[in-house]
Amino acid sequence: MSDTTRHELRDLDAMEEFGTRIADRLQAGDVIALRGGLGAGKTALARAIITALGHRGDVPSPTFTIMETYDAPPLRLPIVHADFYRLEDPAELIELGLEDYRDGSALLAEWPDRAGNFDGEPACLSITIENAPAGPDAGRIAIAAPGEDWLGRWP
């Protein structure tokens, strides 16, 4: 995709600033599809987005619960933070009631490939987080690919 952008995230402060930029543009119905290996920083970026939207307090990883929800107010808009790592089949989303939770909310989806992906949705911003070429201590690179609805919002 020609609109793909690369963002250097040298440290946690840069990750938080990137999360704030996403949160500023986030709307109900959006999906942020977070990809990357174990420990890449998917949950750290999701925490930064949720905090930038107004959440105060802990943001637990949804690895075991699969989904955590955050309501508005205090957030600017409701958020569903999901970690689909433990799903064996995308059909499990029906049992989880994901569509009910998504109604009027934005979705932060870790391991979206295990949920059938969301790339076909025009309101999907796909972000892949990788180690910077110099190694794990050099920070991360976020590769962002906006869906059609994000094109006018994403720098």
Percent of the chain at pLDDT > 90 equals 39
Distance CA 107, CA 135 (A): 30
Domains and CATH numbers, the chain: 5-150 (3.40.50.300)
Question: What is the rounded average pLDDT of the residues 98-110?
Answer: 86
Is residue 2 scored above 80 in pLDDT? no
- Residue 113 — very low, low, confident or very high, per pLDDT cuts 50/70/90? very high
Q: Which residue has the higher pLDDT, 57 or 17?
A: 17
Over residues 50-74, mean pLDDT = 86
pLDDT at 152: 83
CB 54 within 8 Å of CB 80: no
CA torsion through residues 36, 8, 82, 136, sign? positive
- Quick one: pLDDT at residue 25? 94
